[in-house]
Amino acid sequence: MSDNTAIGGRFVIAIPGDLNADGIVNILDAITLGDSFLATTSSLNWNPNADINGDSAVNILDAIVLGNYFGQTSVY
């Protein structure tokens, strides 16, 4: 969709690294990323939420982003 219209469903806009969308980037998010570390879209342990930078692989680049936001909270 070119106009960003959401039709149906539920979505959450979270800060980068907040993989479980609970409003804080913490150890729970790091564990989630670790569970999918080195996964790609064809891996059994693929988690699209852990692919923070959207390059179809969960790797150190995603961990760096999570680390940069570690401890930050959001209010929504």
How many structural domains are present in the chain? 1
d(CA 22, CA 29): 9
**23-46 pLDDT, tens per residue?**
999 999 999 999 999 999 999 999
- CATH, residue 18: 1.10.1330.10
Contact 57, 46 (CB under 8 A): no
Supply the pTM of this predicted model.
0.82
Domain span at residue 11 reads 1-76
- pLDDT number for residue 51: 98
Task: Look at the alpha carbons of 59, 52, 15, 32 in this order and tell me if their dihedral is positive or negative.
Answer: negative
- What pLDDT score does 9 carry? 74
